Structure 1
Amino acid sequence: MYPGKWAATTPDKPAVIMADTGETLTYAELEDRSLRLANHFRALGLQPGDHVAMIAENRMEIIEAYWAALRSGTFITVVNQHLTPAESSYIIHDCDASVVLVSTGLKSAHELNEECADIPQRIAVGGPLPGAEEYEAVLAAASPERPDHEPRGDDMLYSSGTTGRPKGILPTLKDQSVEDENVPLIQLFTALYGFGEDTVYLSPAPLYHAAPIRFVMTTHARGGTVIVMPKFDAETALGLIEEHGVTHSQWVPTMFIRMLKLPAEVREKYDVSSMRAAIHAAAPCPIEVKRAMIEWWGPVINEYYAATESNGITVINSEESLRKPGSVGRDGLMGIAHICGPDGEELPPGEVGTIYFEADPDKDLFVYYKDEAKTAGTRHPVHEHWTTIGDLGHLDEDRFLFMAERKSFLIITGGVNIYPQEVESELALHPDVKDVAVIAEPDEELGEIAVAYIEAEDHVRPGEDLAEQIRIRTWLADHVARYKIPRKFYFIDEMPRTPTGKLVKRKLTEQAPA
């Protein structure tokens, strides 16, 4: 299913509304513009299985480009707009993009355009860039004629590893048309949350994340309307729910916390009774936060645990969350969960181990693009169709899953993943740093924040001056995205490592100031 169906039956219905400006994209316009861009891809010689990339702030063109890829048989990689130009360039080149679309609304647009100068097909969205075609001119010149067959493409999004560079998650393209209704993700979301023609979906999160863009796709497949926020603001979100009669939404726990922190008179000012499914994922939600949201919005709070790799999912509704506080749900809808020990042995209920999902034998397993070794590391040592992304947890007697600490000290701050080794590698190059470790520290609002423990070089007197130097200077800002920079810096005499170099986290956190 795709927007063309709804362009034929409800051409003037809004497919997308920008929350800040009220700008509207109708289904007729989404159909025409995504078709023209898809035809441009074809005219450039792109074949099914080729790759396009896009980096932009939340704007309509991301959705147009996404559907253009889906209806031309290509893979689309939507890149995190907050990455540095070098980080973005790596992903764009690693995915072998034949075409890259760059928004001129990004501060790094010109620098990124230069980084991608070797990609001959560059499209500037929202204004000119040297050597790039302008998006509106591309659409105006492209054919509006729909071809006889539109093979279905897919997204290839990136999930950072615990070590090394981020890797693309390559799905298997099916031999099907974009009109085919047999799309598992759409069917699953529809069955779980009731997406339909009357859906009004509020998207408060960045569209480069897997969940937001896939929920947008599901909404359009079912003929609903998407409200896109350029960035999240707690009171603005509540106002949009009332104004548009929002029925569906997807959040991270930090957003819940920020809305709950609004004064009672502000929260009570807005009518949120239209909400039928408020879905959250991406990070652990504090038990008391979920309970407060259920008390406020009613039994419409739904959680799922899954990954961009789409190897399995658990789901839990409001009633179950109150009965099983802290759980991320039950399996069975997409894969069977197994908890395994270090040698792959399955563990009994209550014991913490690595979470594997068992897929149907006829399902294609995910692979990491151009990384056979990392792909192999996700497979169970015995069972061929069991895969893991490395998360830890346990099942209870009723098969409800509870998460444990993630491997390699992965930090989830406000729903965004930070992989410590990447930041540690940059900090270790600083001339005043002898050794460093970046770990998570609990935070009331964000769930977790990244903090750095530093063993300074002998010639340095550790203190706030060094912290400010590391924090403010361009040392980290020039090498990693701003959200990855630690919020706090602690100075210790010696890093607690084993003789083999392994960090002993327990001893490290014991040295944190009270």
Structure 2
Amino acid sequence: MYPGRYAAVAPDRPVVHEAATGRTLTYRKLEDASVRFAHWLRAHDVGKDDHIAVVTVNDATALELYWGAVRSGVYVTFVNTHLAPIEAAYLVDDCDAKVLVVSAPLADLAEAIVPLTPKVTHRVAFDENTVYLSPAPIYHAALLRYGVSTQALGGPGTLGLARICDENGNRLPTGEIGTVYFERDDFSFEYHTDPEKTASTRHPFEGNWYTTGDIGSLDEDDYLFLTGRDKFTIISGGVNIYLQEIENVLALHRSIADVAVVGVPDADRGERVEAFVQLVPEAEGSDDAEDDIIGFCRERLSRFTCPRHVRFVDELPRTPTGKMVEGRLGELIAQYADTGALS
């Protein structure tokens, strides 16, 4: 969707309505504001293939920034506002942002990451004087698709033809659950400065198939049903959480001999993060030990990422070669799942 196209034929049609403020952004206003931001970028020597980062509250101004950048050939990275300063700074620095745009209410976070983001040459704040029913936080990439609903795949405007494959890349029959791949000839997505991660999204032997990491199945009419994420990722309250990152942190705790971080079915959030921990011989499981482990994690990762509970076990179910026995781990998870939340 290019806003200028709709501004020409329906300038007063609403694009976004902010329920909290009552503000309505029309296609004409979006077009004009994005043009102004594009001029600002050009005046500050930010052009094609450069990057900007945006740290914002739920403010429709973010869409004006996004389209101003897109029409200038500039890449945009939206930063999760719940991240710890060191995590937010890593994203800003890793995307090579020349400009950092921040909502005024997030000034404290912006100030905390200034010394950690030396590549940024321009820092801009916007507030209520800076001149979409939102189903998710504005920093979430899904908003840029304006709340796309599940639909039959393969037609105009979709991600491509959906294919369901097993762990070896072989296609699965209708109704069977596996990794969702999309077949698309004009696909050009890649992770910035991370070719290894980019390669992990590609099908092992089909050059024009890629995956977003979702798990699901197709019915007889080729409608796609998503059932979850890959085993290293969960979605809690609409936010992706990467379990391996948490395990890597907890493995450094002085009292932990072994750890498995998992998603436990949750009635409110879909899944919640919990950690099954095997302690070193001299340590004892207790409420204080749980608080210490969670606090250790919160010092290093954002609060929403860290386990809500730590479950102490005598031993984690591993094979002699160290591989986790998924079935037995699943039994542990089921013990703590909310009633009715198990899928």
TM norm. shorter chain > 0.5: yes
Give the Cα separation in 1 of the matches to 2:6 and 2:154: 32
Give the Cα separation in 1 of the matches to 2:92 and 2:8: 35
Q: Choose which of 290, 295, 301 in structure 2 pairs with 1:480.
A: 301
Alignment RMSD: 2.8
Compute the displacement of 1:206 (Å): 0.8
Distance 1:12 1:398, change over 3 A: closer
Distance 1:388 1:18, change over 3 A: closer
Give the Cα separation in 2 of the matches to 1:399 and 1:9: 34
1:339 equivalent in alignment to 2:164: yes
Give the Cα separation in 1 of the matches to 2:227 and 2:9: 48
- For 1:109, the equivalent position in structure 2 comes to 110
1:470 equivalent in alignment to 2:293: yes
Compute the displacement of 1:416 (Å): 1.5
Compute the displacement of 1:385 (Å): 1.4
Are the equivalent residues in 1 in contact too, given 2:233–2:240 (CA < 8 A)?
yes
Compute the displacement of 1:434 (Å): 1.7
1:501 equivalent in alignment to 2:322: yes
Percentage of pairs with the same residue: 44
Compute the displacement of 1:100 (Å): 1.2
Distance 1:365 1:71, change over 3 A: closer
Compute the displacement of 1:437 (Å): 0.9
Distance 1:12 1:347, change over 3 A: closer
Distance 1:122 1:460, change over 3 A: same
Give the Cα separation in 2 of the matches to 1:26 and 1:379: 38
- For 2:340, the equivalent position in structure 1 comes to none
Question: Is 425-434 or 495-504 further displaced after alignment?
Answer: 495-504
Q: Deviations over 1:372-400 (max 9, x none)?
A: 22222322233221222343333344434
- For 1:448, the equivalent position in structure 2 comes to 271
Compute the displacement of 1:29 (Å): 4.7
Map of 1:254-293 to 2, 5 A cutoff? none
- For 2:54, the equivalent position in structure 1 comes to 54
Give the Cα separation in 1 of the matches to 2:138 and 2:316: 39
Map of 1:222-301 to 2, 5 A cutoff? 250=147
- For 1:97, the equivalent position in structure 2 comes to 97
1:410 equivalent in alignment to 2:233: yes
The two structures have a TM-score, normalised by structure 2, of 0.85
Tell me, what secondary structure is at the counterpart of 1:208? coil
- For 1:237, the equivalent position in structure 2 comes to none
Tell me, what secondary structure is at the counterpart of 2:317? coil
- For 1:211, the equivalent position in structure 2 comes to 142
Give the Cα separation in 1 of the matches to 2:229 and 2:263: 11
Give the Cα separation in 1 of the matches to 2:174 and 2:86: 45
- For 1:40, the equivalent position in structure 2 comes to 40
Distance 1:68 1:399, change over 3 A: closer
Compute the displacement of 1:422 (Å): 0.8
- For 2:341, the equivalent position in structure 1 comes to none
Compute the displacement of 1:7 (Å): 6.0
Give the Cα separation in 1 of the matches to 2:225 and 2:59: 36
Are the equivalent residues in 1 in contact too, given 2:228–2:234 (CA < 8 A)?
no
- For 1:194, the equivalent position in structure 2 comes to none
Are the equivalent residues in 1 in contact too, given 2:179–2:213 (CA < 8 A)?
yes
Q: Deviations over 1:249-304 (max 9, x none)?
A: x4xxxxxxxxxxxxxxxxxxxxxxxxxxxx6xxxxxxxxxxxxxxxxxxxxxxx42
Q: Deviations over 1:154-211 (max 9, x none)?
A: xxxxxxxxxxxxxxxxxxxxxxxxxxxxxxxxxxxxxxxxxxxxxxx41142111122
Compute the displacement of 1:452 (Å): 0.8
Give the Cα separation in 1 of the matches to 2:172 and 2:14: 50
Tell me, what secondary structure is at the counterpart of 1:380? coil
Compute the displacement of 1:80 (Å): 1.1
- For 1:173, the equivalent position in structure 2 comes to none
Are the equivalent residues in 2 in contact too, given 1:339–1:393 (CA < 8 A)?
yes
- For 2:121, the equivalent position in structure 1 comes to 120
Question: Is 392-401 or 45-54 further displaced after alignment?
Answer: 392-401
Give the Cα separation in 2 of the matches to 1:7 and 1:462: 62
Amino acid at match of 2:117: C
What are the ranges of 5 or more consecutive residues in structure 2 without an aligned counterpart? 337-343
Amino acid at match of 1:49: D
Compute the displacement of 1:454 (Å): 0.8
Distance 1:403 1:204, change over 3 A: closer
- For 1:76, the equivalent position in structure 2 comes to 76
The two structures have a TM-score, normalised by structure 1, of 0.58
Are the equivalent residues in 2 in contact too, given 1:492–1:511 (CA < 8 A)?
no
1:384 equivalent in alignment to 2:207: yes
Q: Choose which of 178, 183, 186 in structure 2 pairs with 1:353.
A: 178
Q: Deviations over 1:53-82 (max 9, x none)?
A: 111111233122112112222111111111
Give the Cα separation in 2 of the matches to 1:26 and 1:357: 33
Give the Cα separation in 1 of the matches to 2:74 and 2:200: 27
Give the Cα separation in 1 of the matches to 2:10 and 2:189: 36
Amino acid at match of 1:331: L
Map of 1:367-382 to 2, 5 A cutoff? 367-382=190-205
Are the equivalent residues in 1 in contact too, given 2:19–2:133 (CA < 8 A)?
no
Give the Cα separation in 2 of the matches to 1:460 and 1:378: 41
Q: Deviations over 1:222-244 (max 9, x none)?
A: xxxxxxxxxxxxxxxxxxxxxxx
Are the equivalent residues in 2 in contact too, given 1:102–1:113 (CA < 8 A)?
no
Are the equivalent residues in 2 in contact too, given 1:365–1:385 (CA < 8 A)?
no
Are the equivalent residues in 2 in contact too, given 1:426–1:476 (CA < 8 A)?
yes
Give the Cα separation in 2 of the matches to 1:351 and 1:10: 44
Q: Deviations over 1:63-120 (max 9, x none)?
A: 2211211222211111111111111111111111111112231242210233224412
Compute the displacement of 1:502 (Å): 2.1
Q: Deviations over 1:419-466 (max 9, x none)?
A: 111111111222222221111111122221111101112222102221
State how many pairs are aligned: 331
Give the Cα separation in 2 of the matches to 1:209 and 1:400: 24
Give the Cα separation in 1 of the matches to 2:11 and 2:222: 45
